Amino acid sequence: ARIVAVDIVPSRIEFALNYAATDSFIPPAFDAGETKIAYSQRAATLLKEKLGVTERGPNGLDLVIDASGAEVCVQMGIFVAKVGGTYVQVSRL
């Protein structure tokens, strides 16, 4: 199985890679004047290109779990899940 860790904090990426992640991705910074949705689409495209993720088939991401709750992370998660894949939003009360 492939487990992709995504975070903006390198130490969290390192932890994930030592724990269970097989791949990692640090999203880019926002471009000046970029909308949240445009950023999410750009970051998702970069992740797919860097890691060879496809929208269908065995190189697609079957399951995306987001524990951040951040709007751009939710959007990015939906954009990277493969067609017919599952997106799960985890939060604590």
How does pLDDT run across 41-93, given as a tens digit for each residue? 999 999 999 999 999 999 999 999 999 889 999 999 999 999 999 999 998 76
Beta carbons within 10 angstroms of residue 4's beta carbon: 17
How many residues in the chain?
A: 93
Alpha carbon 8 to chain centroid, angstroms: 11
The tokens describing 40, both together, are: 């999410």
State phi, psi for 45 to the nearest 5 degrees. -65, -40
The tokens describing 88, both together, are: 């799960």
What is the reported pTM? 0.90
How many helices and strands, by DSSP H and E, does the chain display?
A: 3, 4
Q: For residue 90, list its beta bridge partners.
A: none
